[in-house]
C-alpha cells in the first residue's frame, strides 16, 4: 500500500495558470477564470518557468502581491516566460513585474490608490477593453506605479495619477492592468478578464462541471479497478458529492463510513443514518467513536493540537472500519486500500499545501492527517471550490437539501469550544447550537447565511444575574457569516429580532450560559471558525 496522493486532478487541455505572488486574491482570480468557463490552477511564483510551461498552459495570469518590484528579494519571474509565446496577463504586481522585466519603468511616485478609482480608457477598441466604457470604475490597491510602458506596448488606460494603468502588446500576446479586475468592485473586470482569455489567448469557454464528472469517473474507475474503496461520509456537501461521484464510478465496490466522534451537532447522526441513505441508497457503516475521540482530546486546549489529534483519530477509525469491511467481504487488505475524502481546494490552500502559502490552520483531512497513513487517497474535488462542488452535486442528481447544506467542519464542535473539550461542555454547546440553528432556519436565513458557528468560550466566565441571583457563567459566541467560497467572508447582518430571540432562548434554556455575544469580524482578519 502506498501513502502517495495520486493527482486526481489532471488538468484539462485548456488550463490557465495563475501565478501567485502572495496575493490576497489569487483564489479569486482562479474562480473568475473558471466562471468564464476556462479551467484554472494556482501555482507559486517560486515555480521555475520551465515547470510552468511543462504544464502546457494556454495562458498565464500573474497575480498581485505585497512586494515592490524594485525591492531587494522581491519575487520575480524569468524573462523567458514573456518570450515563450504563451499569452500572459499581469494584474497589479504582475503588471508591474511585466513592465520592469521588459524594460519599462515602475517606481514609487507617491501616487497611491486604494479602493474605488475611475479608470480612463484611451483605447476602447483594444483587446482587453473592447465594448467597455471610456470611463469605468476599478478597484486599485497599490503604492508603486508604471510611468513608462516597455517598448512595443500600447498604453490603453490611465487614471488621474497613474499615466500607465493598462497596456497591451497584441503581437506578443502580453497584457496588463494596474488594477484588480477579479474583484467585483471593478465594474467591467470580468469582461476584461474574458477578453484576455477569449480574444487575447483564443481559448474556447468550454470547461464545465460536466467535464469534471466525466473525467473523475473515468479516472476513479481506472485507479480502483476491481478493488474496494471506503468514503468518509459526514452528511456534509463535499463528502456527499465525492461519494456520489465515486459511486457512479465503482458502484457497490464503495462503502461509506460515518464517524460519530461525539463532536457532532444535535440530531446529526440520526439525520445521516436516515435521510442520507434514503436519498442516495449508499452502503453506510456508522462507527461510534465518541469515547475514543474524547479520551484522545482530554486535557488539550491548543487548537492545532486538537486538529492533529482529530485528523489522526479519523484515520485510525477508518482503518478499523476497513478491517471490518475486509472481514465481512472476505477480501484481502489490499482490496480496500482506497479512502475517498471530500477535500476541497480551500482546505488544501489553508493547510498551506496549496502554493507555498502560509499554514493558517490544519484542516483535519489535509494538514491534520497523520504521517503513517496507509490509504491511497481519492479526492476528486481537491481542485474545486464549494459552489463548483454544489454544481457537480446537482449534476449527479443529489437532492437540494444535501447540495445546499451549510458547511460543518470535520473536527466539529471540538474546534468550537475554546478550551478543553469535555462531554459536559459538548452537551452544553450542542444545546446552544441547536437553538441558534432552529431560530435561523425559522427566520428563513439558511440560504443567505453561509454558516453560523456557535462557539463556547469555556475558559471565560463573566458575572450575570439570573432569577435575582448572581451567576458566573460562560459566554456563547454567534458567528454568522456570508461567503462565496469560505476563503473570504463577512459577518452576516442578521436582523436584531432574530438575534434577540436566540440570545434569550440560549440564556434561558442552556445551563451555565449567561451571556451571548455576536462576532462582527470579517475574514480576513478573523477566520470563520475560532480555532
Ligand X SMILES: O=c1[nH]c(=O)c2[nH+]cn([C@@H]3O[C@H](COP(=O)(O)O)[C@@H](O)[C@H]3O)c2[nH]1
Binding segment for ligand GLN among 137-145, 274-282, 366-374, 401-409 (CB under 6 A)? 137-145
Interface residue with ligand X among 312, 361, 416, 515 (CB under 6 A) is 361
CB of 330 to ligand ATP, least distance (A): 25
Binding segment for ligand ATP among 78-86, 90-98, 226-234, 425-433 (CB under 6 A)? 226-234
State the binding site.
234-240
CB 163 within 8 A of CB 122: no
Considering the rule CB under 5 A, would residue 491 count as an interface residue with Mg ion? no
CB of 137 to ligand GLN, least distance (A): 17
Catalytic annotation present for 261: no
Considering the rule CB under 6 A, would residue 259 count as an interface residue with ligand ATP? yes
Tell me which residue of 35, 27, 17, 57 sits closest to 193, measured CA to CA. 35
Considering the rule CB under 6 A, would residue 409 count as an interface residue with ligand X? yes
Tell me which residue of 510, 497, 383 sits closest to 41, measured CA to CA. 383
Q: Where are the beta strands (DSSP E) in 178-298?
A: 229-232, 254-260, 284-288
* Site residues (CB under 5 A) for Mg ion, limited to 369-408: 408
Catalytic annotation present for 182: yes
Considering the rule CB under 6 A, would residue 247 count as an interface residue with ligand ATP? no
* Site residues (CB under 6 A) for ligand X, limited to 289-308: 307
Given ligand X, Mg ion, ligand ATP, none, residue 232, with its beta carbon under 5 to 8 Å by kind, binds: ligand ATP
* Site residues (CB under 6 A) for ligand ATP, limited to 417-446: none
Nearer CB in complex with ligand ATP: 233/510: 233
The rounded distance, in Å, linking the Cα atoms of 301 and 337 is 33
Considering the rule CB under 6 A, would residue 234 count as an interface residue with ligand ATP? yes
Using the structure block, give the residue that is written with the C-alpha cell 462565496. Answer: 484
Interface residue with ligand ATP among 64, 150, 380, 410 (CB under 6 A) is 410
Catalytic annotation present for 452: no
Considering the rule CB under 6 A, would residue 239 count as an interface residue with ligand ATP? yes
CB 88 within 8 A of CB 200: no
Tell me which residue of 40, 53, 51, 43 sits closest to 19, measured CA to CA. 43
Considering the rule CB under 6 A, would residue 75 count as an interface residue with ligand GLN? no
CB of 455 to ligand X, least distance (A): 11
Element (H, E) at 378: strand 376-378
Binding segment for ligand X among 46-54, 122-130, 318-326, 520-528 (CB under 6 A)? 520-528
Among residues 8, 41, 92, 439, which one is catalytic?
92
Interface residue with ligand GLN among 9, 27, 100, 141 (CB under 6 A) is 141
Considering the rule CB under 6 A, would residue 127 count as an interface residue with ligand X? no
Interface residue with ligand X among 350, 388, 431, 485 (CB under 6 A) is 350
The rounded distance, in Å, linking the Cα atoms of 394 and 402 is 10
Considering the rule CB under 6 A, would residue 407 count as an interface residue with ligand X? yes
Considering the rule CB under 6 A, would residue 410 count as an interface residue with ligand GLN? no
* Residue 484, burial from CB neighbour count under 10 angstroms (0-12, 13-18, 19+): middle
Classify residue 109 as left (phi > 0), alpha (psi -120 to 50) or beta. alpha
Cα angle 212, 230, 208; round to 5: 5
Nearer CB in complex with ligand X: 99/381: 381
The rounded distance, in Å, linking the Cα atoms of 32 and 26 is 10
Residue 198 DSSP code: I
**Can you tell me whether residue 468 is helix, strand or coil?**
coil
Interface residue with ligand ATP among 90, 236, 368, 453 (CB under 6 A) is 236
Nearer CB in complex with ligand X: 166/415: 415
CB 171 within 8 A of CB 152: yes
CB of 417 to ligand X, least distance (A): 14
Given Mg ion, ligand X, ligand GLN, none, residue 486, with its beta carbon under 5 to 8 Å by kind, binds: ligand X
Q: Which three cell numbers stand for residue 206?
A: 468550454
Considering the rule CB under 6 A, would residue 143 count as an interface residue with ligand GLN? yes
The rounded distance, in Å, linking the Cα atoms of 381 and 242 is 7
State the binding site for ATP.
234-240
Considering the rule CB under 6 A, would residue 433 count as an interface residue with ligand X? no
Q: Where are the beta strands (DSSP E) in 87-148?
A: 88-91, 105-107, 113-121, 135-142, 145-148
Contacts of 138 (CB under 8 A, 6+ apart): 116, 117, 118, 119, 177, 179, 180, 181, 185, 186, 187, 189
Q: How many CB atoms lie within 10 A of CB 352?
A: 17
* Site residues (CB under 6 A) for ligand ATP, limited to 353-382: 365
Considering the rule CB under 6 A, would residue 308 count as an interface residue with ligand GLN? no
DSSP 3-state helix, strand, coil percentages of the chain (rounded to 5)? 35, 20, 45
**Can you tell me whether residue 261 is helix, strand or coil?**
coil
CB of 450 to ligand ATP, least distance (A): 10
CB 382 within 8 A of CB 216: no
CB 480 within 8 A of CB 446: no
CB 80 within 8 A of CB 145: no
Residue 24 DSSP code: S
**Cis before 525? omega within 30:** yes
Nearer CB in complex with ligand GLN: 7/108: 108
Q: Which residues bind ligand X (CB under 6 A)?
A: 307, 350, 361, 363-365, 407, 409-411, 451, 486, 523, 527-529
Which residues contact Mg ion (rule: CB under 5 A)?
Answer: 234, 236, 408
Interface residues toward ligand GLN, by CB under 6 A: 64-68, 92-93, 141-144
Residues marked active site are found at: 92, 180, 182
Contact positions vs ligand ATP (CB under 6 A): 232-234, 236-239, 242, 257-259, 341-342, 347, 365, 405, 407-410
Amino acid at each position: 500500500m502506498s501513502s502517495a496522493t495520486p493527482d486526481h486532478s489532471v488538468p484539462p487541455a485548456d488550463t490557465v495558470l495563475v501565478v501567485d505572488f502572495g496575493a490576497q486574491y489569487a483564489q479569486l482570480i482562479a474562480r473568475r477564470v473558471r466562471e468564464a468557463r476556462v479551467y484554472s490552477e494556482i501555482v507559486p511564483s517560486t515555480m521555475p518557468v520551465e515547470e510552468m510551461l511543462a504544464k502546457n498552459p494556454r495562458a498565464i495570469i500573474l497575480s498581485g502581491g505585497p512586494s515592490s518590484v524594485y525591492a531587494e528579494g522581491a519575487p520575480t519571474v524569468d524573462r523567458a516566460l514573456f518570450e515563450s509565446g504563451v499569452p500572459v496577463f499581469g494584474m497589479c504586481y504582475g503588471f508591474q513585474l511585466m513592465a520592469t522585466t521588459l524594460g519599462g519603468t515602475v517606481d514609487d511616485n507617491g501616487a497611491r490608490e486604494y479602493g474605488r478609482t475611475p479608470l480612463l480608457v484611451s483605447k476602447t477598441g483594444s483587446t482587453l477593453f473592447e465594448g467597455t466604457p471610456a470611463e469605468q470604475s476599478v478597484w486599485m490597491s497599490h503604492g508603486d506605479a508604471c510611468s513608462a510602458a516597455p517598448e512595443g506596448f500600447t498604453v490603453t488606460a490611465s487614471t488621474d495619477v497613474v499615466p500607465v494603468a493598462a497596456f497591451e502588446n497584441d503581437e506578443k500576446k502580453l497584457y496588463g492592468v494596474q488594477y484588480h479586475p477579479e474583484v467585483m468592485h471593478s465594474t467591467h473586470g470580468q469582461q476584461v478578464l474574458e477578453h484576455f482569455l477569449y480574444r487575447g489567448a483564443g481559448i474556447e469557454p468550454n470547461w464545465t462541471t460536466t467535464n469534471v464528472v466525466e473525467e473523475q469517473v473515468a479516472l476513479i474507475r481506472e485507479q480502483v479497478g476491481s478493488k474496494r474503496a471506503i468514503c468518509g461520509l459526514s452528511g456534509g456537501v463535499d463528502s456527499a458529492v465525492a461519494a456520489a461521484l465515486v459511486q457512479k464510478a465503482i458502484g457497490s465496490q464503495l462503502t461509506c463510513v460515518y464517524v460519530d466522534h461525539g463532536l457532532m451537532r444535535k440530531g446529526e447522526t440520526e439525520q445521516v443514518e436516515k435521510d442520507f441513505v434514503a436519498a442516495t441508497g449508499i452502503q453506510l457503516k456508522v462507527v461510534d467513536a465518541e469515547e475514543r475521540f474524547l479520551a484522545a482530546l482530554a486535557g488539550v486546549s491548543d487548537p492545532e493540537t486538537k486538529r492533529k489529534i482529530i485528523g489522526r483519530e479519523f484515520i485510525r477509525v477508518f482503518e478499523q472500519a476497513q478491517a471490518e469491511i475486509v472481514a465481512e467481504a472476505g477480501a484481502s487488505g489490499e482490496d480496500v486500500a482506497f479512502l475517498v475524502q471530500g477535500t476541497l481546494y480551500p482546505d488544501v490552500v489553508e493547510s498551506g499545501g496549496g502554493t507555498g502559502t502560509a499554514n493558517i490552520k490544519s484542516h483535519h483531512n489535509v494538514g491534520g492527517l497523520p504521517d503513517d497513513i496507509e490509504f491511497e487517497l481519492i479526492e476528486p474535488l481537491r481542485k474545486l471550490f464549494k459552489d463548483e462542488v454544489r454544481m457537480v452535486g446537482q449534476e449527479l442528481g443529489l437532492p437540494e437539501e444535501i447540495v445546499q447544506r451549510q458547511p460543518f467542519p470535520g473536527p466539529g464542535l471540538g474546534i468550537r469550544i475554546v478550551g478543553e473539550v469535555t462531554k459536559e461542555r459538548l452537551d452544553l454547546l450542542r444545546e446552544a447550537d441547536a437553538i441558534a440553528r432552529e431560530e435561523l432556519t425559522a427566520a428563513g436565513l439558511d440560504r443567505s447565511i453561509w454558516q453560523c458557528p456557535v462557539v463556547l468560550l469555556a475558559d471565560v466566565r463573566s458575572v450575570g444575574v439570573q432569577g435575582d441571583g448572581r451567576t458566573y457563567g460562560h459566554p456563547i459566541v454567534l458567528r454568522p457569516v456570508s461567503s462565496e467560497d469560505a476563503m473570504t467572508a463577512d459577518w452576516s447582518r442578521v436582523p436584531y429580532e432574530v438575534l434577540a430571540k436566540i440570545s434569550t432562548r440560549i440564556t434561558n434554556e442552556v445551563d451555565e450560559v449567561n451571556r451571548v455575544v455576536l462576532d462582527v469580524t470579517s475574514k480576513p482578519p478573523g477566520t470563520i471558525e475560532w480555532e
